Amino acid sequence: MAAHLRRSDTCRNGYSPTLLHDRIYTLIAIKAECDHFLDFAIVFERKPNSHNVRRQETVKDQKIERLEAKIENKNDVMAELLEEHIKLKKGLGEP
């Protein structure tokens, strides 16, 4: 009789039905929690509107202009440095 009770308390894989039941509900709760957090990500995602898009484009255009001016300034400095280097080489008699 006791052997029969032991066999009925465990499934084929050695786990008790209550343990399997608890694990299944734990997995269901974890999945529900993950889905819940994914829904929150969608809620807080920034939606573009016309004013926001225009502002972002303006900021992007200003950044491009600023970087182009910076490159132009660096090109001017490099040209002056090379010019002075060539003058120095000619003054020393190097070809």
The pLDDT, as a whole number, for residue 54 is 87
Average pLDDT of span 70-94:
92
Domain ranges of the chain: 1-45, 49-95
Q: What is the pTM of this model?
A: 0.44
The pLDDT, as a whole number, for residue 10 is 54
In the structure, what pLDDT confidence band is assigned to residue 4 with cuts at 50, 70 and 90? very low
In the structure, what pLDDT confidence band is assigned to residue 80 with cuts at 50, 70 and 90? very high
Average pLDDT, the chain: 79
- SS3 track for 23-84: HHHHHHHHHHHHHHHHHHHHHHCCCCCHHHHHHHHHHHHHHHHHHHHHHHHHHHHHHHHHHH
